Amino acid sequence: MDKLGNKTLIGASATFTGKVINARVIEVNGKMNADLTAEKVTIGEAGHFDGAIQADLVVVSGHYEGKMQAKSIWATATASISGKLHYETLQMDRGAALNCHVVHNWKAKNTAVAQIDNDDADLLMPTTLGKAKNGAVPKPPIEGA
């Protein structure tokens, strides 16, 4: 039994197709076909999720297909994922099946370009430094590029 807190549940025998707005914490044990933006998404062992997910944390124990963008992704031993993953931290348990494109979304501030801006600014030609000096932060690579 799950305590009825702030969690939306899609039951094991349920099928949902459509659109979800305002989701925060959602657990999918059934079949779901939707694009989702949420704080935490859990795909249960029996769960099937088809569609895009944008979330802080995604725990996948079931089947996922689509494009996922998440700060943390945890693929448990029973996970099977296909599609595309963008992540900052990824945990994969022994047994998890990933059949997908995996991209690490690093933070632009931590890259070498930012260091050059701070440490070696004097050594570089002003022209090459123009953009960095203006405080423009290099953008992470565009999806699909």
Partner 1 sequence: MSAKPYDQMTSFHDDTTYILGDLIMEGSLDGGDHPVVIDGQFNGDITAIDLIIREQGKVTGAVKSKTAIINGHFNGNLICESLNVTNTGIVEGEVQANALSIDLGAEVIGTISRVNAKSN
Q: Is 23 in the site for partner 1 (CB under 8 A)?
A: yes
Q: How far is the CB of 24 from partner 1 (least distance, A)?
A: 8
Of 15 and 111, CB closest to partner 1: 15
Of 34 and 58, CB closest to partner 1: 34
Q: How far is the CB of 42 from partner 1 (least distance, A)?
A: 10
Please say whether the beta carbons of 96 and 110 come within 8 A.
no
Cα 15 to the center of its chain, rounded Å: 23
CA gap 70, 88 in Å, rounded: 7
CA gap 27, 40 in Å, rounded: 8
User: In this chain, which stretch among 7-15, 82-90, 113-121, 128-136 interacts with partner 1, using CB under 8 A?
Assistant: 7-15
Q: Is 9 in the site for partner 1 (CB under 8 A)?
A: yes
Q: Is 17 in the site for partner 1 (CB under 8 A)?
A: yes
Neighbours of 129 (CB within 10 A): 16
Q: Is 110 in the site for partner 1 (CB under 8 A)?
A: no
CA gap 119, 92 in Å, rounded: 37
Helix (H) or strand (E) holding 70: strand 63-75
Q: Is 14 in the site for partner 1 (CB under 8 A)?
A: yes
Q: How many chain residues are in contact with partner 1, going by CB under 8 A?
A: 30
